[in-house]
């Protein structure tokens, strides 16, 4: 089974009405004009889409942040792009997505359920969500996102953590467990810690919940725009994989960061993780996470 995971897409809209800036969106749009638009390149989307289609995935996932400041126009653009991808890729097991903090960027966007309105057929109304991929692979979606006035933090809360614990306990022995959540559960040792106010407030509680199960778990996320794969020291049963940001360019990834690919054997064995990464020759190549 092949699963493709796309990270932070961040479709954006430069032109906004003045009254749409009467919120945290003013900060987000200022950052977009001064910084983000110079590095996120929506023009790369057709190449990303076509490569996903060429990989013939059985399932397509997204770890959230389809939008930049949760504008209705951004949601329309993001939904059209995602619907086009899913229709052409025709994943036999379906498409599943979770929201990112930018998809609930303002209190108004959260109150009006703009994310659910755009992606309702591929997401859930209740969390944790659980989907079955094939006969023995369980995908659990988490939603710690919420609007904040000034920061980008998230929180699962006790009810969602308790339900997650119950879900993990109910999964039959020998079945594989994938968890899809926007926020990471820490950063690898070679990278700096996440900035205060940017991460998951109850990260430690989530790590404890995952470690308690003692089951092999692949934790898939985004939020920090840099692909990686590592095992948190406090949860040796967990492999955390950052999907990266497909349309983000920079010195290390001048053509964009590509996307994550999971290869799940039909009969036991470890889950293979790799990335499909564009190169300067106009083609794509496999790379380590």
Maximum C-alpha span of the chain: 56
Task: Tell me what pLDDT residue 280 has.
Answer: 87
Contact 64, 182 (CB under 8 A): yes
For the record, the structure tokens of 51 come out as 């490569």
Cα three-residue angle 44-281-256, rounded to 5 degrees: 30
- Percent helix / strand / coil, the chain, rounded to 5: 30, 20, 45
- Check residue 18 and give its pLDDT: 61
Residue 200's domain is classified under what CATH number? 3.60.21.10
CA distances to 83, 175, 209, 230 from 120, rounded to whole Å, are 12, 27, 28, 31
Nearest to 121 by CA among 95, 93, 84: 95
Strand 2-6, strand 259-263: pairing: antiparallel
For residue 21, what pLDDT is reported? 64
pTM over 0.85: yes
Counted domains in the chain:
1
In sequence order, which residues have a C-beta less than 8 Å from that of residue 57 and are 6 or more positions away? 2, 3, 4, 89, 91, 261
Residue 94: give the domain boundaries: 2-287
Cα gap 266→35, rounded to integer Å: 44
Residue 289 and residue 260 in contact, taking contact as beta carbons nearer than 8 Å: yes
Digitized pLDDT (tens) for each residue of the chain, 289 residues in all? 999 999 999 998 765 656 566 777 767 777 777 778 778 899 999 999 999 999 999 999 999 999 999 999 999 999 999 999 999 999 999 999 999 999 999 999 999 999 999 999 999 999 999 999 988 999 999 999 999 988 999 999 999 999 999 999 999 999 999 999 999 999 999 999 998 899 999 999 999 999 999 999 999 999 999 999 999 999 999 999 999 999 999 999 999 999 999 999 987 778 999 999 999 888 999 998 8
CB–CB of 289/273 below 8 Å? yes
């Amino acid at each position: 089974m092949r699963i493709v995971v796309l990270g932070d897409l961040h479709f954006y809209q430069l032109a906004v009405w003045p009254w749409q800036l009467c919120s945290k969106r003013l900060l987000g749009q200022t950052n977009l004009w001064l910084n983000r638009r110079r590095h996120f390149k929506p023009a790369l989307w057709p190449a990303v889409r076509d490569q996903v289609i060429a990989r013939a995935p059985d399932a397509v996932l997204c770890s959230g942040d389809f939008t930049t400041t949760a504008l209705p126009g951004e949601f329309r653009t993001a939904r059209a792009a995602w619907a086009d991808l899913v229709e052409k890729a025709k994943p036999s097991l379906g498409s599943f997505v979770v929201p990112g903090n930018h998809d609930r960027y303002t209190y108004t966007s959260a109150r009006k359920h703009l994310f659910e309105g755009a992606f309702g057929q591929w997401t859930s109304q209740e969390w944790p969500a659980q989907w079955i991929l094939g006969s023995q692979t369980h995908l659990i979606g988490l939603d710690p996102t919420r609007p904040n006035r000034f920061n980008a933090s998230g929180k699962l809360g006790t009810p969602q953590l308790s339900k997650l614990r119950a879900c993990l306990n109910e999964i039959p022995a020998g079945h594989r467990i994938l968890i899809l959540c926007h926020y990471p559960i820490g950063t690898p040792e070679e990278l700096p810690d996440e900035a205060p106010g940017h991460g998951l407030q109850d990260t430690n509680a989530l790590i404890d919940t995952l470690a308690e199960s003692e089951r092999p778990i692949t934790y898939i996320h985004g939020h920090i725009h840099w692909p990686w794969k590592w095992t948190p020291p406090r949860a040796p049963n967990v492999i955390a994989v950052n999907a990266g940001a497909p349309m983000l360019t920079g010195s290390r990834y001048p053509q964009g960061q590509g996307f994550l690919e999971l290869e799940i054997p039909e009969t036991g064995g470890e889950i293979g993780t790799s990335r499909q990464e564009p190169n300067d020759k106009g083609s794509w190549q496999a790379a380590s996470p």
